[in-house]
Amino acid sequence: MKTDSSSGFDTLRSGILDLWERTSGEADAAEALALFRTLKDGLNRGEIRAAEPVNGVWTVNEWVKKGILLGFRFGSVQDMSLNDSQPFFDKQTFPLKRITLENGIRIVPGGSSIRDGAYVAPRVTCMPPMYINTGAYVDQGTMIDSHALVGSCAQVGKRVHVSAAAQIGGVLEPVGSLPVIIEDDVLIGGNSGIYEGTIVRSRAIIGAGVILTASTPVYDLVAGAVYSAAPGSPLEIPEGAVVIPGTRPVSRGAGQEWGISIYTPVIVKYRDDKTETAVTLEELLR
Domain count, the chain: 2
Which string of b and e fits 164-182 if b means at least 16 CB within 10 Å? ebbbbbbbbeebebbbbbb
Q: Is there a single domain that holds both residue 107 and residue 144?
A: yes
| Residue 134 and residue 265 in one domain | yes
Does 20 map to a domain?
Answer: yes
CATH number of residue 68's parent domain: 1.10.166.10
- pLDDT tens for the chain, residues 1 to 286: 345 666 679 999 999 999 998 866 555 788 889 999 999 999 999 999 999 999 989 999 999 999 999 999 999 999 988 888 888 999 999 999 999 999 999 999 999 999 999 999 999 999 999 999 999 999 999 999 999 999 999 999 999 999 999 999 999 999 999 999 999 999 999 999 999 999 999 999 999 999 999 999 999 999 999 999 998 899 999 999 999 999 999 999 998 989 999 999 999 999 987 766 556 545 554 5
Tell me the HSE value of 54 on the side-chain side, using a 13 A CA sphere.
Answer: 12
Q: Is the bond preceding 122 in cis, omega lying within 30 degrees of 0?
A: no
Q: Based on the fold, state whether residues 135 and 227 are members of the same structural domain.
A: yes
Beta carbons of 219 and 199 less than 8 angstroms apart: no
Residue 5 falls inside a structural domain = no
Helix H or strand E encompassing 62: helix 62-74
Asked if 100 and 146 sit in the same domain, the reply is yes
Per the domain annotation, does 264 fall within a domain? yes
User: Does the reported pTM lie above 0.85?
Assistant: yes
User: Alpha-carbon distance 247 to 227, whole Å?
Assistant: 15
Do the Cβ atoms of 90 and 82 come closer than 8 Å? no
- Do 193 and 233 lie in a common domain? yes
- Domain extent, residue 59, equals 10-74
Question: CA quadruple 124, 97, 45, 136: dihedral positive or negative?
Answer: negative
CATH code at position 195: 2.160.10.10
- Residue 57 located in a structural domain: yes
Coil, helix or strand at residue 139: coil
